[in-house]
Amino acid sequence: MFSKILIANRGEIALRIQRACRELGIRTVAVHSTADTDAMYVRLADEAVCIGPPASRDSYLNVAAILSAATITGADAIHPGYGFLSENADFAETVEAHGITFIGPTAEHIRMMGDKITAKTTMKALGVPLVPGSDGALENLEQAREVAARVGYPVLIKAAAGGGGRGMKVAPTEADLEEAWSVARTEARAAFGNDEVYLEKYLDKPRHIELQIMADTHGNVVHYGERDCSLQRRHQKLLEEAGSPALTAKQRDEIGTIATSALTRLGYRNAGTLEFLYQDGQFCFIEMNTRLQVEHPVTEMVCDVDLVREQIRIAAGEPLGYSQPDITFSGHAIECRINAEDPQTFMPTPGTITVYHPPGGLGVRIDSALYAGYRVPPYYDSMIAKLIVRAPTRLEAIERMRRALDEFVIEGVRTVIPLHRKILEDPQFRKGDYTIHWLENFVARQQ
Ligand code: ADP
């Protein structure tokens, strides 16, 4: 087992990883920018190294500074968390070249899944169902027209290097295709330096359902069921559930078997998430994330597993030690992302937290690095906490979440807590009757 892990991240996830390390008896190294000197994850780590100024490119994306920090502290592994360098294949390769273990998949698999076209063709060959669309990159507008005519409008032009919903444009009809094509490519070139695009049929009422996978280095692959992440605004998830209110245990088993056998054949290792759009009883793979996800706690709550601990054990070469039939699902879990944003305009609201009282009680979990007096810096993602609850049934989980949100006191910055309260009261949400478009419409109705 490792003796010291460097956590190449910040905020709640840096603390989350630290907690898993501590329970495994592993020492931790926090790295931080000058804007995060006072952060809780820095204070609680065994060692801390400042890796640069506030801008992410100079600190949390600064590979040389992070590697130096790992070398001088004698860390034997690096956990990248999510975002930042977590899906950077070159980083994973460089870390390993320095004799340090990268806690995640191989650079080869990160690279493969980072290109969404390669990801789709690979998954197709492994028997995973896809959204109908182009077989690979589009050569030109003419070809886009042909594929669109074949799959039927509306269609979506998507960037091969896409992420965070950027480089993605809908063409409702043929008349819109040329513009969608050129806007998607321009956006993709600007955001990712790669203007390769592909086409998918635009599904009108899908749910976003993703499957959590874990693979060890001894050929064992399991899944921990699904998360329903359909509640999104501008392609950013806001509230997630495990399991999905739309799936039966049989459907979960079926897609789980397809996914685990695909990843077994691929020789994948460590944590991964297969994202699907689910409509009319059909699963359509859209992409795979080769890292831990923000919403991983809902899975942990229903499966009673520590996914970060599993990632670390696997990276250290340990076998999983259990197989699919050992994984059972108990109750229902919901996560609300608490962002420091205005609940109506969604403008970020950085500032000083004056009062902080997290909720408690049975089945309530907070993943956050907040404390009273903490200054939420303006440079990074606005998510400041995740509130997760588990209860025997979905409706009880909803009531528990409402109760926990009522107890949650965060003063000094505005947050999206009032919006979460409204969502949880909505009759359609309570019935589990929603698609990926539901939240945008709901937010529009509130304004
Ligand atoms: P990104 O990596 O930029 O997040 P994804 O491919 O994961 O891109 O898609 C992000 C979101 O966009 C999905 O969760 C879904 O809400 C929507 N989306 C993606 N593909 C389609 C599609 N073919 N039809 C309808 N909505 C889609």
Q: Assess whether the C-beta atom of 163 lies below 6 angstroms from ligand 1.
A: yes
pTM (predicted TM-score): 0.97
| CA 156 to ligand 1 center in whole angstroms | 9
| CA 254 to ligand 1 center in whole angstroms | 22
Closest C-alpha to ligand 1, atom 1: 163
Atom of ligand 1 nearest to the CA of 284: 23
pLDDT given for residue 359 in this prediction: 98
Q: How confident is the model at residue 166 (pLDDT cuts 50, 70, 90)?
A: confident
pLDDT given for residue 378 in this prediction: 97
| CA 210 to ligand 1 center in whole angstroms | 12
Number of C-beta neighbours around residue 258 at 10 A: 20
Q: Kindly report, residue by residue over 280-301, the tens digit of the pLDDT.
A: 999 999 999 999 999 999 999 9
Q: What is the average per-residue pLDDT within 385-402?
A: 98
CA angle 373, 374, 378 (to 5 degrees): 135
Closest C-alpha to ligand 1, atom 2: 163
pLDDT given for residue 410 in this prediction: 98
pLDDT given for residue 272 in this prediction: 98
CA distance 205 to 279: 7
CA distance 393 to 332: 5
pLDDT given for residue 36 in this prediction: 98
Task: For 51-78, give the secondary structure using H, E and C.
Answer: EECCCHHHCCCCHHHHHHHHHHHCCCEE
Q: What is the mean pLDDT of the chain?
A: 97
Q: Assess whether the C-beta atom of 87 lies below 6 angstroms from ligand 1.
A: no
| CA 94 to ligand 1 center in whole angstroms | 31
pLDDT given for residue 404 in this prediction: 98
Question: pLDDT at residue 163 above 90?
Answer: no
Question: pLDDT at residue 395 above 90?
Answer: yes
Atom of ligand 1 nearest to the CA of 165: 3
Of all residues in the chain, the percent with pLDDT exceeding 70 is: 100
Contact 37, 52 (CB under 8 A): no
pLDDT given for residue 164 in this prediction: 80
Q: Assess whether the C-beta atom of 235 lies below 6 angstroms from ligand 1.
A: yes
Give CA separation, 132 vs 150, 152, 307, 436, in Å: 9, 10, 32, 18
Question: pLDDT at residue 220 above 90?
Answer: yes
pLDDT given for residue 347 in this prediction: 97
Question: pLDDT at residue 224 above 90?
Answer: yes
Q: What is the average per-residue pLDDT within 263-288?
A: 97
Q: Kindly report, residue by residue over 184-207, the tens digit of the pLDDT.
A: 999 999 999 999 999 999 999 999
Q: Which of 10, 227, 291, 337 is catalytic?
A: 291
Closest C-alpha to ligand 1, atom 9: 165
Contact 265, 244 (CB under 8 A): no
Closest C-alpha to ligand 1, atom 6: 286
Best residue among 113, 280, 436, 440 to mutate for probing ligand 1, ranked by most atoms within 8 Å of CB = 436
Question: pLDDT at residue 47 above 90?
Answer: yes
Q: Kindly report, residue by residue over 305-355, the tens digit of the pLDDT.
A: 999 999 999 999 999 999 999 999 999 999 999 999 999 999 999 999 999
Atom of ligand 1 nearest to the CA of 166: 3
Q: Assess whether the C-beta atom of 229 lies below 6 angstroms from ligand 1.
A: no
pLDDT given for residue 4 in this prediction: 98
Q: Assess whether the C-beta atom of 436 lies below 6 angstroms from ligand 1.
A: yes
Q: What is the ipTM of this complex?
A: 0.96
The side-by-side arrangement of strands in the sheet containing 155-163 is 166-171, 155-163, 197-201
The verdict on whether 291 is a catalytic residue reads yes
Q: Kindly report, residue by residue over 145-159, the tens digit of the pLDDT.
A: 999 999 999 999 999
Q: Assess whether the C-beta atom of 156 lies below 6 angstroms from ligand 1.
A: yes
Question: pLDDT at residue 447 above 90?
Answer: no
Q: Kindly report, residue by residue over 11-24, the tens digit of the pLDDT.
A: 999 999 999 999 99
pLDDT given for residue 167 in this prediction: 87
Q: Residue 245 half-sphere exposure, CB side, CA atoms within 13 Å?
A: 19
| CA 422 to ligand 1 center in whole angstroms | 25
Q: What is the average per-residue pLDDT within 225-237?
A: 96
Q: Assess whether the C-beta atom of 237 lies below 6 angstroms from ligand 1.
A: no
Q: Kindly report, residue by residue over 323-335, the tens digit of the pLDDT.
A: 999 999 999 999 9
pLDDT given for residue 200 in this prediction: 97
Closest-CA residue to 414 (of 334, 359, 338): 338
